Amino acid sequence: MSNLITKTTELAMAVTLKYIEQGDTVIDATCGTGQDTVSLAVAVGKEGTVYAFDIQKKALLLTEARLRAHGFSNVRIIPESFVSMRSHIAGGSAAAVVFNLGYLPGGDHSITTTAETTLEGLKCALDTIRPGGIVTVVLYDGHEEGSAEKKQVLEWAESLDTKKYHAAYVSLLNQQNNPPEILWITRKH
């Protein structure tokens, strides 16, 4: 068994997968290289649907290639920002929404998620998940925009209505070089 605490993105996905069943609808808000998209496609099975968003052509191509290599046909790739998810997915219908913030690994580091659009996207995600669903956010603060984004996202999460949501935050306290951190938000029944 792998040591999940040392692999933040794997830990984030491991928890997320506990909220997903075969046939569900899920969202990869930032498909990037397609790694999370593939994990979600496996989790929902052939009867389920994954909506994968990204604004970068390179990310979309990487994701499409990864999906083809694994033979998945249950993914709808949407070349738009995650803030448009409401126009593609009915409110209260998704089991999970996954955000992996920052910039595309191996891509242009000047193109990053921003606090403003991420907060808008998170509000869309909360509208989109069903009762009992989860929003997973992997935060990176090792660059200027990421640091501001993390601060604002965590402040927003702390202010969520406790009657509607649970929010949990994981930080690797003794690690160097700004390791990724995780925010989970679940919608109460």
What's the pLDDT score for residue 1? 57
Class of domain 4-187: alpha beta
* Cβ 51 vs Cβ 121: under 8 Å: no
What's the pLDDT score for residue 117? 96
* Cβ 69 vs Cβ 41: under 8 Å: no
Q: CB-based contacts of 75: which residues, under 8 Å, 6+ apart? A: 37, 41, 49, 50, 51, 52, 63, 67
Q: State how beta strands 181-187 and 165-170 pair.
A: antiparallel
* Cβ 26 vs Cβ 50: under 8 Å: yes
Task: Report which DSSP code applies to 178.
Answer: -
Residue-wise pLDDT for 31-71, tens only, equals: 999 999 999 999 999 999 999 999 999 999 999 999 999 99
Low-confidence stretches of the chain (pLDDT beneath 50): none
pTM assigned to the model:
0.94
- How many Å apart are CA 29 and CA 23, to the nearest integer? 19
Domain boundaries, the chain: 4-187
What's the pLDDT score for residue 43? 98
Strand ordering across the sheet containing 75-78: 75-78, 49-53, 25-28, 94-100, 129-139, 181-187, 165-170
Q: State how beta strands 181-187 and 129-139 pair.
A: antiparallel
